[in-house]
Amino acid sequence: CFFFKQKTAYEIYQCDWSSDVCSSDLWVTVIPITKDRKILLVDIFRQGLGKNTLEFPSGGVDKTDNNELMAAKRELLEETGYGNGEWKFIAKIAVNTSTHTNYCHIFMAYDLDYIQEQSEEDKQLIEVQSHEVDSITNLFYEEKSVVGAQIAGYYLAKEKYPNIFKS
């Protein structure tokens, strides 16, 4: 992510107001549900908040990824060790329209299998947790999970596929 000065509507109309904008690659997020109906979250330290948060597995789309779905499958496997299952595209959500140029592609994956251990790099940075499907919204209210695009994606997935979210 790098910051650059971008002209705003105010500057275009002869004002001198400007904002910092972060130019970043596309992101992906996976709402993962295992075969035993648990939702996987990762506990990870976030520099911007200065604390750990619970998040859905996420990451950037790499140059080696052919598309966003491939990136989502790679990120889920690296961060949690889970894969296979059924995959659904949920939404393309702007990360932060005032400071970021990129989008986050949200996927839901269900009936997931445990395939392998986390990648060595992720094992040192991330703790994988499994939660009951019904308990996820409590984490939002308790401010343990606070990433806006992920929360929006969760509610969109739950609305679009309510039967998958039944315990």
pLDDT value at 8 more than 80: no
pLDDT at 78: 93
What is this structure's pTM?
0.82
What are 78-131's pLDDT values in tens digits? 999 999 999 999 999 887 667 667 788 999 999 999 999 887 777 778 899 999
Cα(45)–Cα(65) distance, rounded to whole angstroms?
Answer: 25
Query: How much is the mean pLDDT over the chain?
Result: 83
pLDDT at 20: 66
pLDDT grade for 53, boundaries at 50, 70 and 90 = confident
